[in-house]
Amino acid sequence: MRPSFLDPLFAPVSTLPGIGPRTARHLVTLLGVDPSREPHVIDLLFHLPSGVIDRRLRPGIARAPEGAIVTLEVRIDRHQAPPRASRAPYRVFAHDDTGEIALVFFHAHQSWLDKTLPVGADMIVSGRVEWFNGRPQMVHPDHMVAAEEADTLPMMEPVYPLTQGLSGKTLQKALAVALDHIPEMPEWRDAEQARRLDWPGFREALLALHRPDPDDPGAEHAARARLAYDEFLANQLALALVRRSMRQTRGIARRFSGRLKAKILAALPFALTKGQADAVAAIEADLAAPERMLRLLQGDVGAGKTVVALLAAAAVVESGAQAVMMAPTEILARQHHASLAPLCEAAGIRLAILTGRDGARHKRETRAALEAGEIDIVVGTHALFQGDIALHDLGLAIVDEQHRFGVHQRLSLSAKGKGVDMLVMTATPIPRTLVLTFFGDMDVSRLTEKPAGRQPIKTVTVPNERMEEVIARLRAALDAGKKAYWVCPLVEESEKSDLAAAQARFEMLAGLLGPRVALVHGRQSSEEKTAAMSAFKDGPVSLLVATTVIEVGVDVPDATIIVIEHAERFGLSQLHQLRGRVGRGSEASTCLLLYKPPIGETARARLAIMRETNDGFRIAEEDLRLRGEGEILGTRQSGTPGFRIADTGTQGDLLETARNDARLILETDAELKGPRGPALRALLYLFSRDEAIRLLRAG
């Protein structure tokens, strides 16, 4: 249970002055919180200023620099209303010892101005000064208060990112109250570190940022570091708890002799690369050890991750347990099934498939067989794990193309069995800091080399107007027996019209190139998709028009051409994934990026990078640079909460510190019951990582 001293921080924001239920709803997006609940006071406190306006400059009217923010003490002399029906502004003239200034208002109500700036009053005004024809003016001062209330004017004024329905003033008012009610917090930092790093406490850090002290300009940096560290520590502690509980709960030391592996290797038409062999060896060692495996297999598109996964599954099957392989799409699940089937058959492994689109009868029978232990490996989409599916003895869960899944799905999956080992596969070369923040201390295997004999893919960009030329060349290539993909973009906002565009493109190409053209898209039935895919893989179809359903993992090694229409609309990683559909065999491949001019700066940069390199790691880095981190991992789509304060880009060193501290904490106080325990538990609540608390033993 949450400690009660945190209650004021977990009150709904609508308990603050000026914030009603409507504003509270607007705040959900701004604060990036779980949309199913009203934001809490702490969420508002974590909404940090993006900058500070310094109002300390008080030069007097005559010496106010052009364009500067100044604070002036003036006496109001006269009001000058614009003539009726004129567009001219309302002017209020005021003076101090040095000169005269006009305060300028557009669309102002006279009665309000009379009340706010009464003639003869001494006022403090603060805002930006502009010199116009040699005369100073201030348009819509930011603050106007009577001279005797000077101390209510913020000399260092924080500025906040805002949203529709929320003004800066409302936010400041609510924050003022919230800041007065932050409880004293127990310190979760260890004493040694507190001595070494001169940071403020948690409460003091929030105060320093929301109420900047003009006399202590260095405070901001220390306060931000403190809060970022806290957020990293909460994150790393939670991940370490998850990882520890995954590892502790009855990991099973698998016993296998390599009998099935030998059969699979004998049936493969190629030898494993060194990277593949190393990855398999690491996985086998993990499986044989009594702890649970938690391993990430990274390998660029086409690097050959699937066979590594199969060999992992084979070891578990040989030990008498079952394995599941989860794919992000129906097509990919079917393809995995199709490519694994002959190898499984050669090894005598019983393989099945289960997806959301399967018929009720097939599902029922497959589920029953899984429960009875009559199936060794099951391939499926996430539908596989919905509902109360039971397995006889689940030993290994393999998740392909992890970046499509949220972290939560990953956790729920591992709950389906006892001591389940986990292998996560991704083609996205996630930078190390991101692996750390999202997966914690996962072991990582990398497939750095491509299988031997692969030719680089030649990439060219072509403006739309030259489509006829492209089609003519395509015809020649198809006539010569080549296979090609033609990708049409599918943008979510207007799925229907995009689908229509893909349909239209298919009809046009079929009209020109004949019956060797087929169409595949996400809205088709499973049968239609499977038919189109297998006609392309083994049958009469040599040009496959597709929406991005083919983006992830589709494997037709003798396809050597890919045309991507409206390439300017795709992100870099997506383009790289799509391009990875070719260049999978020993023949040279081509990627044609069709674009519709004019295109923007970023799109131009993306296309240039695609032309320049085939290196997935370099592309991921560029993507990170062009887009920011959240999107690379697909967290935007899956809604995984990221970081609110900490920035892995600029504060990566704090992440390392937090990671080491989290490890040390759990080594010395595994159940968080020691003297710092209550403080650390509070920390997990503050940063919404309290799910991890459930993993601590009760009591």
- The number of residues making up the chain comes to 699
What does the DSSP assignment read for 21-41? HHHHHHHHHHHT--TTSPPBH
Q: Are 105 and 89 in contact (CB under 8 A)?
A: yes
State which of positions 545-604 bind ligand ADP (CB under 6 A).
553, 555, 557, 584
Kindly tell me which residue out of 23, 71, 273, 428 binds ligand ADP, with binding defined by CB under 6 A.
Answer: 273
Name the minimum Å distance from CB 525 to ligand ADP.
Answer: 25
Q: Are 398 and 423 in contact (CB under 8 A)?
A: yes
What does the binding site for Mg ion look like in residue numbers (CB under 5 A)?
Answer: 553
Please give the Cα distance from 314 to 311 (Å, whole number).
Answer: 5
- Residue closer to Mg ion by CB (options 116, 445) is 445
Which listed option, Mg ion, ligand ADP, none, makes contact with residue 440 (CB within 5 to 8 Å by class)? none
* 270 touches ligand ADP (CB under 6 A): yes
Site stretch for ligand ADP (CB under 6 A), options 52-60, 100-108, 303-311, 559-567: 303-311
Which listed option, ligand ADP, Mg ion, none, makes contact with residue 71 (CB within 5 to 8 Å by class)? none
* 463 DSSP β-pair partners: 595
Name the minimum Å distance from CB 502 to Mg ion.
Answer: 24
Nearest residue (beta carbon) to Mg ion: 553
DSSP assignment letter at 527: H
Listed in sequence order, the residues at least 6 apart from 68 whose beta carbon sits closer than 8 Å to its beta carbon are 57, 128, 129
Q: Are 616 and 301 in contact (CB under 8 A)?
A: yes
Q: At 554, which amino acid appears?
A: V
Site string for ligand ADP, 410-429 (x = CB under 6 A): -----------------x--
* 307 touches ligand ADP (CB under 6 A): yes
Please give the Cα distance from 619 to 489 (Å, whole number).
Answer: 20
Site stretch for ligand ADP (CB under 6 A), options 216-224, 299-307, 428-436, 648-656: 299-307
Please give the Cα distance from 503 to 496 (Å, whole number).
Answer: 10
* 402 touches ligand ADP (CB under 6 A): no
290 cis-preceded (ω within 30 degrees of 0):
no
Q: Are 462 and 296 in contact (CB under 8 A)?
A: no
- Residue closer to ligand ADP by CB (options 272, 696) is 272
- Residue closer to Mg ion by CB (options 174, 307) is 307
Name the minimum Å distance from CB 285 to ligand ADP.
Answer: 21
Name the minimum Å distance from CB 271 to ligand ADP.
Answer: 6
Please give the Cα distance from 10 to 28 (Å, whole number).
Answer: 15
Mutual angle of helices 572-579 and 601-612, in 10-degree steps = 30
Half-sphere CA count of 9, side-chain side, radius 13 A: 23
Listed in sequence order, the residues at least 6 apart from 178 whose beta carbon sits closer than 8 Å to its beta carbon are 16, 41, 44, 45
Which listed option, ligand ADP, Mg ion, none, makes contact with residue 302 (CB within 5 to 8 Å by class)? ligand ADP
* 333 touches ligand ADP (CB under 6 A): no
* Residue found by looking up tokens 């060349």 in the block: 473
Which listed option, ligand ADP, Mg ion, none, makes contact with residue 557 (CB within 5 to 8 Å by class)? ligand ADP
Nearest residue (beta carbon) to ligand ADP: 304
* 303 touches ligand ADP (CB under 6 A): yes
Listed in sequence order, the residues at least 6 apart from 521 whose beta carbon sits closer than 8 Å to its beta carbon are 490, 499, 502, 546, 547, 549
Name the minimum Å distance from CB 556 to Mg ion.
Answer: 13
Kindly tell me which residue out of 39, 136, 299, 395 binds ligand ADP, with binding defined by CB under 6 A.
Answer: 299
* 193 DSSP β-pair partners: none
Name the minimum Å distance from CB 494 to ligand ADP.
Answer: 30
Name the minimum Å distance from CB 302 to ligand ADP.
Answer: 5
**Interacting residue ranges for ligand ADP, rule: CB under 6 A:** 270, 272-273, 276, 299, 301-307, 427, 451, 553, 555, 557, 584
